[in-house]
Amino acid sequence: MARSYVHEARRRELGRRRDRIEPIVERLASMHADATIALRFESDVDLLVSVMLSAQTTDVNVNRVTERLFRKYRRPEDYLAVPVAELERDIYATGFYRQKAKAIRRTMQMLLEEFDGRVPRTLGELVQLPGVARKTANVVAAELGHAQGIVVDTHVRRLSQRLGLTRNDDPVKIERDLQRVVPRADWARFPHLLIWHGRRVCDARRPVCEECVLADLCPSARFG
């Protein structure tokens, strides 16, 4: 169980989560104006496949694979037109290639049969797709302009805990806590802001608190 900084925020009199969230978002948006999804894609289908491939690997690795993959596979039909062994070879470098190839093919089949070949927009529909859990669905919906939740990855979980925005460790519970305080208009960009801040400043092992724009709002800060 991760350490909870919710009580520490009260002890330091940093203010309620609802009161701190607006300056947190504003400062992060100013510092990380370029914060956006790291995966590269051109179509809705590309986006869906990219996010599915990103499980248990890095975005850099996925982009390296999809640079060639998306020139070969452009529509749902393309993923079904080749033998499964060929698709496995094409995505091998992303790891867990057999499971991912199977999920992608089943998803493409469902897109054609249930959604006229289009990627659905709602979480309820997205999570029906094979291999698409809530986190994947949240990413896809947000990038398509229909954010219905808040993506919780390792960076979002760590920073949400350190900022005292949640005392939970379970991603589903963390998402609920964030939804209570983060304005809905910011649901799509908030995860990107935390992810980029986590990569650039709030490192898992050695956070650079002395360079952090949130030091005076953060109950885990060792500076300020």
Tokens at residue 151, please? 């993506």
* Identified catalytic residue from 44, 59, 78, 153: 153
* Residue ranges of E strands in the chain: none
Can 153 be counted among the known catalytic residues? yes
Residue 175 to residues 112, 114, 138, 179, 206: CA-CA distances in angstroms?
31, 29, 11, 6, 25
Please, which residues have CB within 8 angstroms of residue 94's CB and are 6 or more apart in sequence? 53, 54, 57, 61, 62, 65, 100
* Identified catalytic residue from 46, 135, 177, 186: 135
Amino acid identity for residue 159 in this structure: L
Measured at the CA of 73, the angle between CA 69 and CA 77, to 5 degrees, comes to 155
Residues annotated catalytic, as ranges:
135, 153
